[in-house]
Amino acid sequence: MPAHPKDENFAMHDWLNNLPKAELHLHLEGSLEPELMFRLAERNRIALPWNDVEALRSAYNFGNLQEFLDLYYAGADVLRTEQDFYDLTWAYLQKCEEQNVVHTEPFFDPQTHTDRGVPFEAALNGISAALADGRELLGISSGLILSFLRHLPEEEAFRTLEQALPYRNAFFAVGLDSSEVGHPPSKFQRVFDKARAEGFLTVAHAGEEGPPEYIWQALDLLKVSRIDHGVRAAEDPKLIARLIEEQIPLTVCPLSNTKLKVFDDMRQHNILDLLEQGVKVTVNSDDPAYFGGYVTENFVALHESLGMTEEQARRLAQNSLDARLAY
């Protein structure tokens, strides 16, 4: 008697979940689940604009990147103390353990918090303590990326870098994120030059909502080791050829891309096309609390919507392990 399709789906889910993988594109604040948000709001006596967890979940039906960012920063406001940042990071690491994510390189955006009056040290100490416990207690290796908000002026990024330098060993790289359109990588060339001079590796969000030109700028002006998102590279054959030749990893986030309408439907996603062309694509969750799932859910979506095979999944998982920058 042939296996029921549902049984096969469960089996594939378990297989994908058990596959050893790394996560290279994760915003810690984006892993803030509604339940934890309410718990922290209560602890810090903060009134949220939603009455309950379900009302908050329904607010997640945003239509574009800016609406998402507005919601995201409202949620981040509950993070006030070192313990809050520890709890946030630890909850994410527990999810990594559940999904056999053996290595993670999350982004930390200090400006999201220092602009609200949260001390840089409080946020960093909480995150770093959780990552250390993750290494010791869960066996999950990690490295932290100091990320600049691109919708703010470059001077602000310089200030953030100066704040981080006394904690140089807490970070292995700098990154660039938030609203992409109208904020090209070239705007941050000087601060990235300074970061590289201080010994940081560099990565940058480019080619998600922004054009392929932003990927060229990230490579040539910011000298990045890895491109975050990068799916619009497919529009530029010369760029694709370079990504393949230099084996520059792309940290692709499929569920995020469909939620933010980079692709209207997962069946239109180009990650497997890029994989088959020889581009070093990886699977990541970006902001999993907001976009419908963690790394395993992203793999499952590719299997269900694009027919990703076990062999392709193995290559994607291996790409993520090969593309690690923190050791």
Catalytic residues: 208
Three-class DSSP category at 279: coil
DSSP H helices in the chain:
5-18, 34-43, 53-58, 65-76, 82-98, 110-114, 120-133, 154-164, 189-197, 212-220, 237-246, 254-259, 271-277, 288-291, 295-306, 310-322
Closest CA to 143 of 284, 285, 23: 23
In angstroms, the CA 153 to CA 157 distance is 7
Starting at the edge strand that comes first in sequence, how are the strands of the sheet with 21-23 ordered? 21-23, 101-104, 141-142
Give the residues across from 143 on adjacent strands: none
DSSP, collapsed to helix, strand or coil, labels residue 174 as: strand
Q: Are 147 and 109 in contact (CB under 8 A)?
A: yes
Q: How many CB atoms lie within 10 A of CB 50?
A: 18
DSSP 71-88: HHHHHHTT--SHHHHHHH
Strands 173-177 and 201-206: parallel
